[in-house]
């Protein structure tokens, strides 16, 4: 177990960062069972396993903080990133539940949702593309690959500044459950939230009318 080996070296750990992950780009219909399974094993179940191993240690210490690095894709999925977004959304949802479950133990949780930062995420070392090819998606896939190729290496976000902000969030008196990083991510989150509220309002009367008659 990774966590057990880490704790054998240092028992004073009180901050756990889950940052393992990679991107998978391509239409949902093209994603194979193998691709989806591996993506979830790394992006979600890897963090899940680390958390389960580390929580007994943090509860015994009576304090701690969990950082789960999710993605803006969890809050605002784009075409061509559906399964990747699903894995990150699962991590974000688990983080929200954990924040409530662990509050009585003085353990806080933050889901970090970064936008475009100049990391290796879009490099050939990280991002992967669906191997299955369906003709109806050829043009959309070509456009998507060209878009991400243009962005690789010139993303506006500075990873060093992001890391410093994450540290500030950890040391804050009331760490956020969601830390949306980058102006682009904040813009997308606000727009998506407004769209969600608009849809709720548009269907509110009919949605409220689904209860059993009094």
Predicted confidence (pLDDT) per residue in 87-123, tens digit: 999 999 999 999 999 999 999 999 999 988 777 776 6
Q: Which residues pair with 157 in a beta bridge?
A: 117
In a domain, 103, yes or no: yes
pLDDT of residue 129: 86
Residue 149's Cα: distance from chain center in Å? 22
pTM of the model: 0.89
pLDDT of residue 160: 87
Q: How many helices (H) and strands (E) does the chain have?
A: 9, 6
> Which helix (H) or strand (E) is 68 found in, with range?
strand 64-69
Boundaries of domain holding 95: 2-205
pLDDT of residue 122: 67
Number of domains making up the chain: 1
Q: CA angle 95-168-73, nearest 5°?
A: 40
In a domain, 49, yes or no: yes
In a domain, 210, yes or no: no
Residue 62 CA: distances (Å) to CA of 20, 58, 74, 195: 26, 6, 30, 40
HSE-CB at 25 with a 13 A cutoff on CA atoms is: 22
In a domain, 213, yes or no: no
Q: If you ran DSSP here, which 8-state letter would residue 103 be given?
A: G
SS3 69: strand
> Which helix (H) or strand (E) is 210 found in, with range?
none
> Which helix (H) or strand (E) is 112 found in, with range?
strand 107-114
Q: Which residues pair with 128 in a beta bridge?
A: 24
Quote the crossing angle between the two packed helices 46-61 and 82-102, to the nearest 10°.
10
Q: Say if CB 38 and CB 77 are below 8 A apart.
A: no
In a domain, 212, yes or no: no
Catalytic machinery residues: 84
Q: Which two tokens stand for residue 208?
A: 């409220």
Q: Say if CB 73 and CB 111 are below 8 A apart.
A: no
pLDDT of residue 131: 87
- Residue (of 110, 106, 78) closest to 92 by Cα position: 110
pLDDT of residue 14: 85
Q: Say if CB 110 and CB 181 are below 8 A apart.
A: no
pLDDT of residue 193: 97
pLDDT-flagged residues of the chain (< 50) = none
- CATH code assigned at 173: 3.40.50.720
Predicted confidence (pLDDT) per residue in 69-81, tens digit: 999 999 999 888 8
Let me know how long the chain is: 214
In a domain, 92, yes or no: yes
Q: Which two tokens stand for residue 198?
A: 């608009």
In a domain, 211, yes or no: no
- Residue 2 φ then ψ, to 5°: -60, -50
pLDDT of residue 157: 74
In a domain, 84, yes or no: yes
């Amino acid at each position: 177990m990774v966590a057990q080996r880490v704790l054998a070296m240092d028992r004073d750990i009180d901050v756990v960062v889950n940052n393992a992950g990679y991107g998978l780009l391509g239409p949902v219909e093209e994603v194979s069972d193998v691709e989806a399974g591996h993506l979830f094993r790394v992006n979600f179940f890897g963090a899940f396993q680390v958390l389960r191993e580390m929580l007994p240690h943090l509860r015994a210490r009576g304090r701690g903080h969990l950082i789960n690095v999710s993605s803006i894709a969890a809050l605002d999925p784009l075409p061509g990133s559906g399964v990747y977004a699903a894995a990150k959304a699962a991590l974000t949802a688990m983080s929200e539940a954990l924040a409530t479950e662990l509050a009585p133990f003085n353990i806080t949780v933050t889901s970090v949702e970064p936008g475009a930062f100049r990391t290796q995420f879009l490099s050939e070392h990280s991002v992967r593309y669906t191997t299955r090819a369906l003709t109806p998606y050829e043009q959309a896939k070509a456009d998507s690959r060209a878009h991400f190729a243009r962005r690789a290496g010139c993303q506006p976000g500075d990873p060093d500044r992001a890391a410093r902000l994450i540290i500030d969030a950890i040391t804050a008196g009331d760490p956020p459950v969601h830390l949306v990083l980058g102006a682009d991510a904040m813009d997308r989150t606000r727009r998506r939230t407004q769209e969600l509220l608009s849809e709720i309002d548009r269907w509110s009367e009919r949605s409220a009318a689904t209860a059993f008659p009094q």
